Each structure stands twice: as C-alpha cells, then as structure tokens.
C-alpha cells in the first residue's frame, strides 16, 4: 500500500522542494517506490495533512497534529542528514 508524505516549509515551495528531492531519491535507493508526496506551506498544513502518513517539515509547525512530524532541516544544512533520512525510512516502514 502506498505511503503518503507531506513536505512542509514556510512557503511550500523552496526548501520543501529541495527536501522532497533528497528524500524521494533516498527512498528510491532503498527500494521504497510506492510513496506519494505533496508539498504545502506551514499555514496550510492542517488542511492538507489528513491523508499524510508522515510530515517532513523544515519549519516549526505551530499546531498539534495526528500525523507524525519529522524535522527535515538537517536535509538543508547537511548536519545529521543521514539520521533524518533513516528516521523517515523507518517511520514509513513502520519500524
């Protein structure tokens, strides 16, 4: 069954696009090809998170959400990137 990822940044365009590319490439390398994704800005995350299995955000989300959230800022800075990618993979695999 396909997993749904939601990428979030302040505008829903810039950093979320860079993070999306890194995460999707990593997941494809791991053989996880059944992943759908979308991007949104932080102001719209509540309205767009209903179908998401996981949210990866480069900004603080000021709401309580049912969906798990992983801070993806390391994917921009490069510091701790592998740890974050592995956490995303583990969450989607249900580990």
What local confidence, expressed as pLDDT, does residue 6 receive? 97
> Can you tell me whether residue 52 is helix, strand or coil?
coil
Average pLDDT over residues 63-67: 92
Residues 72-95: tens digit of each pLDDT: 999 999 999 999 999 999 999 987
Residue 63 banded pLDDT, cuts 50, 70, 90: confident
CA distance 54 to 5: 5
Please state the separation of Cα 13 from the chain's center in Å.
13
CA distance 32 to 25: 10
């Amino acid at each position: 069954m396909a997993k749904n990822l939601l990428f979030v940044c302040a505008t829903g365009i810039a950093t979320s696009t860079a993070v999306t590319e890194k995460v999707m490439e990593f997941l494809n390398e791991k053989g996880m090809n059944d992943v759908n994704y979308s991007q949104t800005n932080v102001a719209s995350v509540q309205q767009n998170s209903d179908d998401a299995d996981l949210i990866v955000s480069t900004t603080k989300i000021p709401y309580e959400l049912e969906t798990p959230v992983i801070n993806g800022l390391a994917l921009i800075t490069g510091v701790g990137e592998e740890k974050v990618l592995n956490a995303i993979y583990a969450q989607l695999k249900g580990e």
